[in-house]
Amino acid sequence: MPADLISAMRDECPLEAGLHIIGGRWKGAILYCLTGGSRRYNELRRLMPQVTQRMMTLQLRELEASGVVHREVFPSVPPCVEYSLTELGRSLEPALMSLRDWGERYQQMTSDRRQP
């Protein structure tokens, strides 16, 4: 199926639209880190050592393209790039926190099952 049709379909359902923005492989974790304030590129990499450089860049660029993350380059030597949430990104926080809270309860439930 063509990519534009997929987008069209996702555009129809607001929930799918929202999930499409935050649902990328590492986007949840990245957004989670950025709720604590702006972060430099390598700072994010240290916070998420599992994420390869390639993926970190890709996911950040997609979040930037979606308008939820702001990328600011300080032309210094050595270079410095800071990432932060845009206002639109910060408006995501209630939804993010709600899902995180649910995730916490879910984690507790499943760990209870392993140790009854």
Partner DNA sequence: CGGTATCCAAAGTGATACTG
Partner DNA sequence: CAGTATCACTTTGGATACCG
Q: Footprint of DNA on this chain (CB under 7 A)?
A: 1, 3, 24-25, 40-43, 50-55, 57-58, 60-61, 71, 78-81
H/E segment holding residue 85: strand 80-85
> In what side-by-side order are the strands of the sheet with 39-40?
39-40, 80-85, 69-74
**Taking contact as CB under 8 A, which single stretch among the options 37-45, 57-65, 72-80, 89-97 is the one that binds a copy of itself?**
89-97
Name the β-bridge partners of 40.
82
Task: Provide the minimum distance between the beta carbon of 108 and DNA in the complex, in angstroms, as a whole number.
Answer: 25
Q: Could you give the string, one character per residue 96-115, with x where binding to a copy of itself holds by CB under 8 A and - elsewhere? A: x-xxxxxxxxxx-x------
**Residue length of the chain:** 116
Query: Residue 89 in contact with residue 68, Cβ under 8 Å?
Result: yes
72 binds, among DNA, a copy of itself, none (CB under 5 to 8 A by kind): none
